[in-house]
Amino acid sequence: MPVQRFRITPTSKSALFRAKRWFYLTFYTNVPTEVKEENRKVWVDLAGKIVEEINKRNAAEKPARLIIDYEKGPRGEFKPFSATIELMEIKPLETFTIYASKEEEKKRLKIELEELMRKAKELGISIEELKANPEKYL
């Protein structure tokens, strides 16, 4: 049984759009005229079910991959068995900064230290007190 596995797309809507382009290229352009309309009806039905399930999960704007299990008939008929939607979540695994030079790193640290000192002063915390009792402020 053939399987069409699409790449991960930024949204579920774009995954369906990619599948639509694949369907029309594969099962609509190079088939006999009498099969075209039948294939289109089958596609519209499948696409409607996909949209309904995506909307149930409020996932239209979530990254996704679509996988369609299907069979191709002798005259080019489109016979889908199932469509699997893999909803994804994009989140950073780790964040780190690389400085172009030691001078840039020193400059950035100095700016951060000045900001922390200004905030400490606003909150009434002295640097000496913070050095002496750091766990008091944690």
91-126: per-residue pLDDT in tens?
888 988 898 999 999 999 999 989 988 888 888 888
39 lies in a domain? yes
**CB neighbours of 130 closer than 8 A, spacing ≥ 6?**
120, 137
pLDDT for 72 equals: 93
State the CB neighbour count (10 A cutoff) for residue 96.
4
How many structural domains does the chain have?
2
Q: Are residues 79 and 112 in the same domain?
A: no
Residues 11 and 78 in one domain: yes
Residue 51 forms part of a structural domain: yes
pLDDT score at 40: 94
Residues 38 and 8 in one domain: yes
pLDDT value of residue 93: 87
**Does residue 55 share a domain with residue 11?**
yes
Is 92 inside a domain boundary? no
Write down the pLDDT at residue 30: 85
Residue 17, CB-side half-sphere exposure with 13 Å CA sphere: 8
Asked if residue 114 and residue 60 are part of one domain, the reply reads no
Q: Identify which of 98, 81, 84, 114 has the alpha carbon closest to the alpha carbon of residue 2.
A: 81
What integer pLDDT is reported at residue 120 of this predicted model?
83
Beta carbons within 10 angstroms of residue 16's beta carbon? 21
Structural domain of 114: 102-137
Residues 35, 7 share a domain: yes
Determine if residue 54 is left, alpha or beta; phi over 0 gives left, psi from -120 to 50 gives alpha, anything else beta: alpha
pLDDT for the residue numbered 50: 97
107 domain-assigned: yes
**pLDDT recorded at residue 13:** 94
* Same domain flag for 71 and 106: no
Q: What is the pLDDT of residue 47?
A: 97
- Residue 129: the pLDDT is 77
Weakly modelled stretches of the chain, pLDDT under 70: 137-138
pLDDT of amino acid 91 = 83
116 found inside a domain: yes
Based on the domain organization, do 75 and 106 belong to the same domain? no
Quick check: is 97 in a domain? no
